[in-house]
A = this chain, B = another copy of it.
Amino acid sequence: MSEAYQWLKAKEQDALVVEEKTDRTDVVTQLDRGLERFIIGKIEESFPDDAILGEEKQAHKADWQFHSPQWVIDPIDGTMNFVQGRRHYGHILAFYDGQELIFGLLVEGDTGNMLMAVKGEGVYYKGEKLTPPVLTIEQGLVEISGHMPKTYPLATNAFIEQALGIRVTGSAALAIIDMALGARVGYVAGIFAPWDMVVARLIAQEWGWRLTDFDGADIPLEASSDAIFASPTVYPHLLAAIQLDRKK
């Protein structure tokens, strides 16, 4: 991943070519695609038989089966942030061995700092092992995705009142790093793709944290879904807040 980080930094002066995918808020640039090809090339050199699931490689959606070794990558997570000033984005990479997730990496684009979660080994940031933050909802900030105030106004207000405040970062990678460091106490996302939540999944496994959809159900590895990610202490408050809007 440090090679991938360098690949992108070397292209800092390149003008961006921005394309819309599903709508004007869902975009991709030539650097997302180029960096994904670069990472895929590196994986294929060493593991030619493994499947690869990438955000920009959506044509292969039928292959997202997680029944054989599978890499999951999002070359530039927070593409909208990246397009707006090339700031506040991240890189995501994870590996599933055919039976379970083995490791996941998140890299901060602004600093190059890396979080690593490894099955059975815990969670590391900048090479140091992390202790799971122990915080109540009243002691922390809640990360939400940018549409939540519109689609879940009662839940958003509940977070503002119960927690120390809300934050909207616009990158799952950066928000999950903030969760692991205690800079956020909960993360509520209106839509999460498989790559967005893959490292949160590993952290949840390692620390006994919760990652579910808005109904409290587990999310299959290959599914996109709304999502709540938090410690068992905070999680019930987030789920209860979401129900306020559901019952309207």
Contact = CB atoms under 8 A, between A and B. Distances in A.
Given A111-B111, A150-B157, A160-B146, A84 B183 contact: yes
B166 A169 contact: no
A191 to B, nearest CB: 13
A24 interface: yes
A167 B88 CA distance: 11
Copies in the assembly, this chain: 2
A236 interface: no
A147 interface: yes
A87 B149 CA distance: 24
Q: How large is the interface on A (under 10, 10 to 19, 20 to 34, 35 or more residues)?
A: 35 or more
Interface in A116-165: 138, 140-141, 146-147, 149-150, 153, 156-157, 160-161, 164-165
A147 B182 CA distance: 21
Contacts of A185: 84
Contact of A182 (B85, B140, B168, B182): B85
B170 A170 contact: no
Interface in A157-208: 157, 160-161, 164-170, 178, 181-185
A80 interface: yes
Contact of A170 (B84, B141, B182): B141
A84 B169 CA distance: 15
Nearest to A87: B183
A81 to B, nearest CB: 7
A160 to B, nearest CB: 5
20 contacts: A24-B138, A25-B164, A80-B164, A81-B141, A84-B140, A84-B164, A84-B184, A84-B185, A85-B181, A85-B183, A87-B181, A87-B183, A88-B178, A110-B110, A146-B160, A146-B167, A147-B165, A149-B157, A149-B166, A150-B157
Interface of A: 24-25, 80-81, 84-85, 87-88, 110-111, 138, 140-141, 146-147, 149-150, 153, 156-157, 160-161, 164-170, 178, 181-185
